A = this chain, B = another copy of it.
Amino acid sequence: MNDLHDKFTEYLTQQDQRYTTQRREIVDAIINKKDHFEIDEFISEVHLQGKRLARATVYRTVKQLLDAKLIQKIDAGNGRIYYEYNEALQHHDHIICNQCGKILEIKNNHIEKAIKLECNKLGFQAEYRSLHIYGTCKECQNN
C-alpha cells in the first residue's frame, strides 16, 4: 500500500467522503507518473488506456488532493500549469530554466530552516509552501 493512498484515505474519511474507483485510479496514475503532470496530458493518457474518466472528476479530485496538500501546483510561467505529487510530504522546491524549460527539484535544509525561523518569528503556522526559482540553467548559460 502506497503512502499517497493512505494519506488520501485519511483525508477523505475526515471529510466524510468516499474513496471511489475514480479517485483511486487518479491517485494510482499520479503515483505511476512520479514527476509532474498536466491536467490535459493526464486525461488523454487515461483515455488512451481505454478508461472512462470525466474531466470534471479529475478537476474535482485534483482540487481535493491540493486541499489535502498531497500534491502541489506549479506555475511554469509560460502558461503551463503542472501538478506534482508531494512525495512523503517532504517539501521540495523547484528551479525552472527559462531557456529550455527544464525543472530541477531541490531540497535544501538551509532554505527550510530560514523559512521556519521567519514563520516562528511572525507566529505564523506554516502548512505548506511553494518556492520556484526562475533563471538560466548551467547548460543554457553556455549557449
Contact indicator per residue, chain A 112-140, by CB within 8 Å of chain B (1) or not (0): 01110111001111111111111111100
- Which stretch from A4-12, A36-44, A48-56, A102-110 is at the chain B interface? A102-110
A2 at the interface (CB under 8 A from B): no
Asked if A136 and B131 make an inter-chain contact with CB atoms under 8 angstroms apart, the answer reads no
A22 at the interface (CB under 8 A from B): no
A128 to B24, CA, bound (A): 37
CB distance from A67 to the nearest CB of B (A): 9
Asked if A129 and B124 make an inter-chain contact with CB atoms under 8 angstroms apart, the answer reads no
Q: A75-B73, A135-B119 are in contact. Are A127 and B98 (CB under 8 A)?
A: yes
Per a CB cutoff under 8 Å, which of B110, B122, B136 touches A95? B122
Q: Which residues of B contact A143 (CB under 8 A)?
A: none
This protein's copies in its complex = 2
Contact indicator per residue, chain A 13-27, by CB within 8 Å of chain B (1) or not (0): 000000000000000
CB distance from A107 to the nearest CB of B (A): 9
A141 at the interface (CB under 8 A from B): yes
Q: Which residues of B contact A131 (CB under 8 A)?
A: 115, 129-132
Q: Which residues of B contact A122 (CB under 8 A)?
A: 95, 104, 106, 137-138
CB distance from A43 to the nearest CB of B (A): 20
Asked if A118 and B106 make an inter-chain contact with CB atoms under 8 angstroms apart, the answer reads yes
A46 at the interface (CB under 8 A from B): no
List 3 A-B pairs, minimum CB-CB distance, nearest first.
A123-B138, A110-B114, A126-B135
